[in-house]
Amino acid sequence: MAPGIPNKVYKAYRKLDKDREYSPYLAKIYYPYVKNYVKFKTWKNINRKQEASIHPLKLLLICPGKVSKRMKKGEEFRREDIFFPKIIDGKWDKKRAKNIEDDLFFTAALDHYNRDIPWEQTEWYESRSHKSKRRNKRIKEMDSLYEKIKKEGYKTQKQLSTREKEINTTTLHHNYLNEFNEITVNIGRDGQFIFEECRHRLAIAKALNLNQIPVRVLVRHQKWQQKRNFAVTKLKELEEKYKQHPDITYLID
């Protein structure tokens, strides 16, 4: 998927540049364009109708411990679109959100890093036996990333070098889409953070008990957006507990 570029053009480019020889050069041109395109579409579809604007590339600093829910596997919003933020009503934040502690991968990571349990003894490891080559490669990369973050601290994608980014991306041009490759979360009706994308870095952040990490918000519940609107138009009527929320504080500062 390449937002802002007709599918026919994108497919033709992929066909001509099979070895991705020109990808790094085209990506440097595409990245500034796609940022502005996403900003424009966000204004057109959301911001001109809302009192509290959504900044599609803004990163919120949150405590990883506050992320206790995850989107149900197979029902993540990123499967539809990872680029454009959305406001969605309904019961998705309840019916499609599951406890993150029930996820085999997160449990395995915390057991491995905090309790010194070998990966091979975790339930997640056994569940991935049909993809052993890929699993073992990811474990090696994740252990390396864990040691690096433990030693140097957590960095945003913009702060990372191209080589470091290759651990978390599958195509070279993604290395230039900095903000879009951060940990992605959704926000439910009451402000709860629901994990969406980039589980390896979130698992490491949780294991290291980091105070805060940068995240990008993909979907906000309609009722949460109403609270954001209140923060801009009727601040006195907004409950105090919401005024300290990372997605609201910058609106009222």
Question: Given pLDDT bands bounded at 50, 70 and 90, which one contains residue 169?
Answer: very low
CA angle (145, 136, 19) in 5-degree steps? 80
What 3-state DSSP class applies to 71?
strand
**Digit-coded pLDDT (tens) for 4-44:** 666 666 666 666 656 666 666 776 777 788 888 899 999 99
Across the range 217-241, mean pLDDT stands at 94
Q: The tokens of 166 are what?
A: 């290759």
At 173 the pLDDT is 46
Check pLDDT > 60 for residue 176. Answer: no
In DSSP terms, which residues pair with 99 in a beta bridge?
69
Residues 79-137 pLDDT 10s: 778 889 999 999 999 999 999 989 999 999 999 999 999 999 999 999 988 888 889 99
* Spatial CA neighbour of 106 closest among 78, 64, 154: 64
Interatomic CA distance for residues 101 and 245, integer angstroms: 23
Residues above pLDDT 90, as percent of the chain: 65
Neighbours of 11 (CB within 10 A): 12
pLDDT tens per residue across span 188-207: 999 999 999 999 999 999 99
Q: Residue 214: in which H helix or E strand, if any? A: strand 213-221
pLDDT at 166: 46
In whole numbers, what is the pLDDT of the chain averaged over residues? 86
- Name the pLDDT band for 143 (thresholds 50, 70, 90): very high
CA–CA dist 118, 121 (Å, integer): 5
Q: What is the pLDDT of residue 210?
A: 97
